[in-house]
């Protein structure tokens, strides 16, 4: 059965896009083309890392989110907040104050995502012991990395840990706990405050699961601005005091670089920023790297602290969370009610923690039929010999290799290459007017009808 299309949280506003190619040039999976002067997304290549969103100079790329007012469709409104959210605020603003303001905005319960870490950590250790022949095990924490491996490194999908991330574990725990307290499950809405686009995509079309336990997603920058504005305007003296649920030091740091790898058994490495991850995985796939037991791979620099929907400098966020972890490490374990609470559900959660094996979805596959794919690959190589290997992007594709693949797949024509056009003009195959018309198909009229 054909895999359903990926859901993508990144959207391109064609009316705003100027076709500047910033997004095309930075995309780590070459998922963007320029056609008729506008950026276009190739869905089966995009992993929602958000780098295009970060570099767009005209804000033509947006990250979708659910309408905030959707929370009021539910009697019980739960905010699942990652630790990096509190790390966005100055040191003089406490987590209790932040959570109180969230309740003033309409949430009835506040839970931190990382409370699921302690259950997950134990499950990882048990899985690693059972599957000692699989090396390296690759964390499933970052959904952008999971999708990256699916589309760019499909031979490594069996190395991905088939376990839910802390977000899903916490959502299951919250659901079980509130239902056990007597609330009706139909009245319960769980909303995740996300630091990145990839986690929105993971909620809307989860990998290895039929349906996410999350009801909706709210972008972190949007919610930060609402909360911080209230605090700065003097509305911070909330009378709503949420229950304080402390986290272990391990849980606080889990979403940062080295947060997982530090606690993995054997030789483990942490690699952040998606271009670094790609370079590392290329070496791993080529068997240039060996004898690694566990890999923590994150798409963003400094991991979730550097998510595209965060607002604070990522290094300050890391510093704040490390201070919190240090304080938490000095507390008595008996003062950590979150651990006591979720441990009651540990056995039930571990029964639901597994996901289905991640399936490969190679973006390099030219055709489902092997013989046809081989024929197309040969054609790609033949076309490549005609191209200049300068990766200028003037054809609307990010490089000569991707341009050759686009031609074979019927998305582009050879005469869109400006170097080929000059050759064809010399041979009388194309006129200058015909070349101009071709380039207008790629870049639009505006760029090529200027009076200089």
Task: At 169, give phi and psi (nearest 5°).
Answer: -65, -45
CB-CB neighbours of 43 under 10 Å:
12
pLDDT value of residue 239: 62
- C-alpha–C-alpha distance, residues 432 and 441, integer Å: 15
Alpha helices (runs of H) in 205-253, residue ranges in sequence order: 220-232, 249-253
The per-residue pLDDT for 163 is 95
| Domain residue ranges in the chain | 1-63, 68-351, 366-452
pLDDT of residue 208: 79
pLDDT on residue 296: 98
Q: Residue 308 in contact with residue 54, Cβ under 8 Å? A: yes
Class of domain 1-63: alpha beta
Q: What is the pLDDT of residue 370?
A: 87
- Rounded-to-integer distance, Cα 49 and Cα 392, Å: 23
For residues 416 and 438, give the distance between their C-alpha atoms in angstroms, rounded to a whole number.
Answer: 6
Tell me what pLDDT residue 445 has: 84
Give pLDDT, residue 3: 47
Query: What is the predicted pLDDT for the residue at 21?
Result: 94
Residue 321, both tokens: 């969370």
- pLDDT average per 10 residues of sequence, the chain (452 residues): 68 95 95 94 93 96 95 96 96 90 94 93 93 94 96 95 95 94 94 96 87 93 95 69 77 96 94 97 93 96 97 96 87 49 86 91 82 92 92 93 93 93 91 90 82 68
CB atoms near residue 22 (< 10 Å): 20
Q: Residue 297 is encoded by which pair of tokens?
A: 């791979």
């Amino acid at each position: 059965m054909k895999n359903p299309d990926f859901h993508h949280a990144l959207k391109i506003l064609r009316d705003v896009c100027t076709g500047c190619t910033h997004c095309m040039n930075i995309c780590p999976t070459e998922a963007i083309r320029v056609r008729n002067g506008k950026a276009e997304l190739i869905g089966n290549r995009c992993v929602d890392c958000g780098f295009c969103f970060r570099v767009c100079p005209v804000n033509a790329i947006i990250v979708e989110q659910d309408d905030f007012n959707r929370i009021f469709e539910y009697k019980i409104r739960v905010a699942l907040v990652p630790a990096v959210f509190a790390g966005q605020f100055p040191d003089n603003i406490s987590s209790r104050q932040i959570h109180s303001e969230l309740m003033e905005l309409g949430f009835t319960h506040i839970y931190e995502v990382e409370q699921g870490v302690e259950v997950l950590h134990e499950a990882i250790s048990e899985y690693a012991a059972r599957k000692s022949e699989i090396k390296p095990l690759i964390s499933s924490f970052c959904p952008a990395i999971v999708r990256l491996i699916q589309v760019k490194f499909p031979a490594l999908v069996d190395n991905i840990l088939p376990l839910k991330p802390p977000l899903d574990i916490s959502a299951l725990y919250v659901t079980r706990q509130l239902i056990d307290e007597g609330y009706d499950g139909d009245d319960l809405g769980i909303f995740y405050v996300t630091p990145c686009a990839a986690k929105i995509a993971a909620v809307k079309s989860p990998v290895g699961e039929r349906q996410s336990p999350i009801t909706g997603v709210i972008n972190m920058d949007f919610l930060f601005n609402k909360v911080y504005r209230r605090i700065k305007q003097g509305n911070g003296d909330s009378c709503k005091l949420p229950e304080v649920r402390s986290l272990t030091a391990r849980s606080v740091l889990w979403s940062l670089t080295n947060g997982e790898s530090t606690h993995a058994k054997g030789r483990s490495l942490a690699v952040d920023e998606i271009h670094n991850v790609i370079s590392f995985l290329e070496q791993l796939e080529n068997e240039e790297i060996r004898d690694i037991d566990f890999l923590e791979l994150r798409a963003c620099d400094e991991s979730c602290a550097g998510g595209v929907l965060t607002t604070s400098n990522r290094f300050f966020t890391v510093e704040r969370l490390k201070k919190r972890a240090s304080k938490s490490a000095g507390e008595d374990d008996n003062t950590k009610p979150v651990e006591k609470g979720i441990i009651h559900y540990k056995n039930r959660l571990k029964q639901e923690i597994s996901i289905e094996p991640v399936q490969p979805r190679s973006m390099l596959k030219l055709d489902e039929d092997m013989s046809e794919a081989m024929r197309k690959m040969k054609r790609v190589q033949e076309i490549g010999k005609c191209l200049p290997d300068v990766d200028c992007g003037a054809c609307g594709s990010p490089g000569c290799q991707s341009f050759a693949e686009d031609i074979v797949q019927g998305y582009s024509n050879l005469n869109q290459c400006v170097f080929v056009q000059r050759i064809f003009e010399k041979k009388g195959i194309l006129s200058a007017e015909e070349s101009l018309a071709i380039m207008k198909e790629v870049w639009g009229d505006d760029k090529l009808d200027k009076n200089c």
